[in-house]
Amino acid sequence: MRLPWTIAGLMVAAAAIPAGILALHGATWLALLGMGGALLVTLLGGVLLTRRLMLPLRECVGEALNISRGIFGTQIELKGRNEISDLTHTFNYMSKQLHTYDLENKALVQSLEQGYLETIAALANSIDSKDSYTRGHSQRVGELSMAIGRELGLPQSELRPLLYGGILHDIGKIGAPERILLKQSRLSDEEMVVMRRHPEIGGSIVGPVAFLAHVLPAVRNHHERWDGNGYPDRLKGEQIPMMARIVNAADTWDACTSTRPYQNAMPYEKAIAVLRSLSGTQCDPAVIVALERALQKWIEMGKQVTAAVEGESLAVAPMPAATAGGAQLSPAH
Q: What is the pLDDT of residues 240-281, one digit of tens each?
A: 999 999 999 999 999 899 887 667 889 999 999 999 999 999
CB 173 within 8 A of CB 181: yes
For position 25, what pLDDT does the model report? 57
For position 51, what pLDDT does the model report? 60
Of the pLDDT bands very low, low, confident and very high (cuts 50, 70, 90), residue 176 is confident
Of the pLDDT bands very low, low, confident and very high (cuts 50, 70, 90), residue 55 is low
Taking the model in full, what pTM does it have? Answer: 0.64
For position 96, what pLDDT does the model report? 81
pLDDT above 70 as % of the chain: 67
State mean pLDDT over 51-57.
62
The answer for residues whose C-beta is within 8 angstroms of residue 89's C-beta and 6 or more apart is 78
For position 29, what pLDDT does the model report? 61
For position 280, what pLDDT does the model report? 96
Segment 15-41, tens digit of pLDDT: 555 555 545 555 666 666 667 667 776
Q: Which numeric CATH code is attached to 129-300?
A: 1.10.3210.10
pLDDT above 50 for 143: yes
pLDDT above 90 for 325: no
Higher per-residue pLDDT: 10 or 59: 59
d(CA 97, CA 74): 11
Of the pLDDT bands very low, low, confident and very high (cuts 50, 70, 90), residue 326 is very low
For position 328, what pLDDT does the model report? 44
Higher per-residue pLDDT: 222 or 134: 222
Least confident of 102-116, 182-196, 260-274, 285-299: 102-116
Domain spans, the chain: 20-99, 129-300
For position 231, what pLDDT does the model report? 96
* Sequential DSSP letters for 6-67: HHHHHHHHHHHHHHHHHHHHHHHHHHHHHHHHHHHHHHHHHHHHHHHHHHHHHHHHHHHHHH
For position 133, what pLDDT does the model report? 62
The answer for residues whose C-beta is within 8 angstroms of residue 168's C-beta and 6 or more apart is 120, 123, 124, 138, 202, 206, 212, 215, 218, 219
d(CA 158, CA 218): 12
Coil, strand or helix at 136? coil
Burial 48-77 (b: 16+ CB within 10 A, else e): eeeeeeeebeeebeebeeebeeeebebebe
State mean pLDDT over 64-78.
71
For position 80, what pLDDT does the model report? 61
